[in-house]
Chain A
Amino acid sequence: MAERFKNVDDVVTRLREADYLADPGIAGVVFLADRLEKPVLVEGPAGVGKTELAKAIAEVTGSRLIRLQCYEGLDEAKALYEWNYKKQLLRIQADREHETDWATVESDIFAEPFLLERPLLEAIRAEEPVVLLIDEVDRVEIETEALLLEVLSDFQVSIPELGTISGRQRPIVLLTSNNTRELSEALKRRCLYVHIDYPDIAREEEIVRVRVPEIDAALAEQIARVVRSIRSLELKKSPSISETIDWARTLLYFGTSQIDPKVIGETLHVLLKYQSDIVKARKELQVPDTGSPA
C-alpha cells in the first residue's frame, strides 16, 4: 500500500500547501481513496474546484497528473490504446520484399512499438507515481462508461493481442462529473463518492485569502458575503469559486478597500456571465446600473 497520507488531518495540511483548502468531507474521501485503493467520484456544480483537487493531490504527492478529458463520442481508441495502423501498413509493405510468412508479420505488427498509448493505459503502465483524472465523465455515453469499469475495479486493461496489462502501482484515481446525467450504478459502486458544493462562507473567505494573498481580511469577508448573497438567488449560473477569486483580483486591481453598491454594479459582470442574471442580481441587491458592459 502506498500510504501517501498519514491521516485525514495530514491530507488537509498538505493540500493546503498546494493552496487547496479541503473541507473535512473532501479530505476524508481522499484519505480513504489512498487506503482503500478505490477511485473517487467527485460530483458538484461547475467551478467548485473538482479538477483543482486532482491537480493539488498530484502536486503534494509528487505524482504526475494524467488527464483523460471525456467528451461525447470518446471511444476505446482515444481512452485506452490504439494500434498505429499506418506504421503497421508500412511494416507490411516493407516486409513484402523479404517474403516473410504471415505469422511472423502478425506477431511483429501487434507488438509494443505499434501500440499507441492513451491516458488510461499510460496511467496503468506508469512507473512513477501518478494521479489519474478522468474529467467530466458524465459527458460520455452510458455505453462507453463500461469501458472504464475494468480499469476502475482492477486497474488493468485487456488487449486481445497482448493479453492483460496490470498496473504496477495503484494511483489515486479521480472522476469528476457535473451531474448532467445519472452515472450507471456499476460505475458508482466501484467508486467512493463525494459531492463538492459551493463552500460555506468561512471557507470561501479563506480560499480568497489564500489565492489572493495581498487582499485585506475585511475585504475578503465582504466578498464572501456578497457572493453568498448572490448564490442564494435563483440564477442560470451561480458564481463559481474561480469567479469569486477573479472578482477579488478585480477589486484589488481597482484599489477597492470597501465594497459598496456602486463597486458591485461596476464589476458584477466578473461574477455573472448571463445578462439576465446580472439584471436580476442588480435588482435584488439594489445595486445601481453603472458601467457594466451588456
Chain B
Amino acid sequence: MTTTETPGAEGSSLRPTLLDLMQGFVHELRAAGLPVSMTENLDAMRAVEYIELDDREEFRSTLAATLVKHHRHRASFDTVFDVYFSLFSHGIDELDELGALGGDGEDDGQPGVDGEAGQGAGQGGGEGLTREEMAAMLVNALRNMDQDALRRLAAVAVRQYAGMEPGRPVGGTYYLYRTLRQLDLDDLQARLMGEAKARGEVQEGALADRLAREEFEARLKLLRDLVEEEIRRALVADRGVEAMARTLRKPLPEDIEFMHASRDEMMTLQQAVYPLTRALAARLAQRRRRRNRGHLDFRKTVRASLSYGGVPAEPKFRNPHPSKPEVMVIADISGSVASFARFTLMFVYAMANQFSKVRSWVFIDGIDEVTRYFIESEDVLEAVHRVNTEADVIWVDGHSDYGHAFETFYNRHYTEITPKTSIILLGDARNNYHASQAWVVEAMAKRARHVYWLDPEPNGYWDTGDSIVSEYAKFCDGTFECRNLRQLNQFVTTVAENG
C-alpha cells in the first residue's frame, strides 16, 4: 500500500507526518509504562532512515529493535504499534475492494456462494453472506492457508457481525467477542477436523489426532488475530489514534495487580511469573556465592606468596560457611487474596534451593501445612492446584479468621521455630472482626530471626474496615505492600539478601 493514501500525508509531506507519528508513538509507549530513553528514541529515528518504509513488518521490527529492550514488553509494544501505524498498512479503502474475494473462491468449486459474497461485500453492506456460507468459505481458506482470503473474510465478518457503531464507547473486546461468537471457532475446528479425516489426511490414533488438532488451532488463532486487527483498524478510523491507544492501554505484566487481575491478565501473570522466578533464583545464587567470602586463610596465603618471592600479593580465603536460613511461609488463601497467595507460593518455591528448608502453611479459619505438596509434585502449578483443593483449611465457616489460625499454628508448630527461621506472613489481615491473637506474632518475632508481613492491598486501605494489619505489624520486622510482581520481586530480593 502506498503511503500517499495515508490521511494527512498528501504529496511530499510524508516526513513530518512520520516524525509526528513516531513522537506520538514513543509518547504512548512511555505512557504505557515502557522505559524508552532519549538515546533509544534517537536510535529509532536514525534507524528508520535506512529501511523500506512501505514494508510494515520491517518497520515494526526496526522500531522494536531500537525501542523495546525487554521481551515481556513486546506485547504492549505491538498493541501500540498496531494502533499508531494501522493507517500505514492495508488502508481502510481496501475493505471496499472485496470483489476479489469471489475470484479467489471460484477455484474451490463454489461459484454461487463466492459470487454472491463478492457482490455483497462490494456493496459495503456485507449482508450477502449467510453464516453457513461464511463458514464454508472460512473452512476453505483455512484448509489452504490462503492468507489473503482469510484477511478479506475477517474484514467481512467484522462488518457483518461486530455491529460496530461510530462513536460508541465500547472497547474492542466487545466487538471481538461478538464477531467470534458468530464465527463459532469451535465449530470451524470440528469441520476442519472432520473434513481432514474424511479425506484420509489424518491417520488413526491419538497422536495424529493431536497433531492435526494443534495445526488447526494454530490456523484459527491466525484468523482470530486477523479479526482483532480488523476491529482495531476500524476503531482507529472511527476514534483517532490517541483515543484508541488510551483505551487499549494495559498494565505491563509486572504491574498487574494480583487482587484485581482479569482472567486474561491472570494468564499473562502466569507466563511472566515463571521466567521471573528463574531469573530471581539465579541472581540470588550468584550473589550468595559471591558475597560470602570466608576468613583469610593464612596458610594458603603464605603458600601462594612463594611464587612472588615471599610477597603475599594474593590473599587466599577460606571457603565460606553458607548460612542457609529456614523459611516458614504462612499464607491466607481465602477468596479475597487467593490469587496473591498463589503467586507468592510460586515465588517462594523458586527460591527453595536458596534456603535449607522452606515450609509452608495455608489458612482460612483453619490452618494446614502444605509443604508436602510442593515436595511431591514436580510441577509448581500442579502443587498450587493441590494446595487449593486438598489442604484442610476450613474450621468453622470458611471466612478468614487470622486469630484462630495463628493460635493453632502456635499450638502445633511454635517449638519448631528456631533463631535461624524467617517467617513470612501473607494476607490482607481482614479478620472479620474476630480476635486478633496478635500475641502469637509477638511470640514468633521473639523466637524467629525475622517476621515479615506482606499485604496485597494498597497501603491506603490498611486498617480500614475489618483490616487489622497494624496490630500484627507492630511485632513484625517489616510490613510490605505487595500488589504486583514488581513489588513481590523487590521484597524477595531484599529478604534473600538479608538472609
- Asked whether A179 and B71 contact (CB < 8 A) given A7-B52, A141-B290, A193-B65, the answer is yes
Q: Which of B33-66 contact A (CB under 8 A)?
A: 35, 37, 39-40, 43, 46-47, 50-52, 55, 57-58, 61-62, 64-66
Binary B-proximity of A29-59 (CB < 8 A = 1, otherwise 0): 1011001101011010000000000000000
Min CB distance A264 to B, Å, is: 7
Does residue B417 face the partner (Cβ distance < 8 Å to A)?
no
> Within 8 Å CB of A43, what residues of B?
71
- Asked whether A185 and B35 contact (CB < 8 A) given A24-B58, A192-B66, A193-B68, the answer is yes
Min CB distance A196 to B, Å, is: 10
Q: Is the CB of A232 within 8 A of B214?
A: yes
CA distance A184 to B442 in the complex (A): 40
Q: Is the CB of A194 within 8 A of B283?
A: no
CA distance A182 to B72 in the complex (A): 12
Across the interface, A32 reaches (CB within 8 A) one of B37, B47, B57, B290, namely: B47
- Asked whether A285 and B210 contact (CB < 8 A) given A43-B71, A193-B69, A276-B378, the answer is yes
Does residue B279 face the partner (Cβ distance < 8 Å to A)?
yes
Min CB distance B26 to A, Å, is: 15
CA distance A215 to B52 in the complex (A): 36
Closest to A261 in B: B207
- Asked whether A31 and B50 contact (CB < 8 A) given A179-B275, A260-B205, A261-B205, the answer is yes
CA distance A97 to B57 in the complex (A): 71
Tier of interface size on chain B: 35 or more
- Asked whether A229 and B214 contact (CB < 8 A) given A36-B46, A234-B379, the answer is yes
Q: Is the CB of A8 within 8 A of B379?
A: no
> Within 8 Å CB of B47, what residues of A?
32, 35-36
> Within 8 Å CB of A35, what residues of B?
47, 50
Across the interface, A25 reaches (CB within 8 A) one of B35, B61, B275, namely: B61
Tier of interface size on chain A: 35 or more
Q: How many A-B contacts at CB < 8 Å in the complex?
A: 105
- Asked whether A29 and B61 contact (CB < 8 A) given A228-B214, A264-B207, the answer is yes
Closest to A34 in B: B50
Binary B-proximity of A189-230 (CB < 8 A = 1, otherwise 0): 111111100000100000000000000000000100110110
Min CB distance A133 to B, Å, is: 18
CA distance A259 to B284 in the complex (A): 43
CA distance A182 to B286 in the complex (A): 13
- Find the residue from A28, A192, A226, A260 having the highest chain B CB count within 10 A: A28
Does residue A181 face the partner (Cβ distance < 8 Å to B)?
yes
> Within 8 Å CB of A270, what residues of B?
none
Q: Is the CB of B65 within 8 A of A29?
A: yes
Does residue A286 face the partner (Cβ distance < 8 Å to B)?
yes
CA distance A292 to B211 in the complex (A): 22
- Asked whether A28 and B58 contact (CB < 8 A) given A35-B50, A36-B43, the answer is yes
Does residue A188 face the partner (Cβ distance < 8 Å to B)?
yes
Q: Is the CB of A192 within 8 A of B65?
A: yes
Q: Is the CB of A286 within 8 A of B207?
A: yes
Does residue A180 face the partner (Cβ distance < 8 Å to B)?
yes
> Within 8 Å CB of B74, what residues of A?
195
Q: Which of A54-104 contact B (CB under 8 A)?
A: 72
Does residue B96 face the partner (Cβ distance < 8 Å to A)?
no
> Within 8 Å CB of A24, what residues of B?
57-58, 61
Q: Is the CB of B61 within 8 A of A260?
A: no
CA distance A183 to B51 in the complex (A): 28
Min CB distance B124 to A, Å, is: 34
Does residue A252 face the partner (Cβ distance < 8 Å to B)?
no
Min CB distance A165 to B, Å, is: 24
CA distance A141 to B288 in the complex (A): 12
Closest to B59 in A: A28
Closest to B46 in A: A36
Does residue A126 face the partner (Cβ distance < 8 Å to B)?
no
> Within 8 Å CB of A105, what residues of B?
none
> Within 8 Å CB of B57, what residues of A?
24
Closest to A236 in B: B378
Q: Is the CB of A229 within 8 A of B210?
A: yes
> Within 8 Å CB of B378, what residues of A?
276
> Within 8 Å CB of A276, what residues of B?
378
Q: Is the CB of B206 within 8 A of A286?
A: yes
Does residue A115 face the partner (Cβ distance < 8 Å to B)?
no
Closest 8 CB pairs of A and B: A28-B61, A188-B69, A180-B282, A286-B206, A195-B71, A29-B65, A25-B61, A192-B65
Q: Known contacts A185-B69, A193-B66; can you find 11 more A-B pairs with CB under 8 A? A: A32-B50, A32-B66, A72-B289, A189-B40, A191-B69, A192-B43, A192-B65, A192-B66, A261-B207, A285-B206, A286-B206
A-B contacts, 27 listed (Cβ < 8 Å) = A7-B52, A28-B61, A29-B61, A32-B47, A32-B50, A32-B51, A32-B62, A35-B47, A36-B46, A36-B47, A41-B69, A72-B286, A180-B282, A180-B283, A185-B37, A192-B65, A194-B64, A195-B71, A195-B74, A225-B211, A229-B210, A234-B379, A234-B381, A260-B207, A264-B207, A286-B210, A287-B207
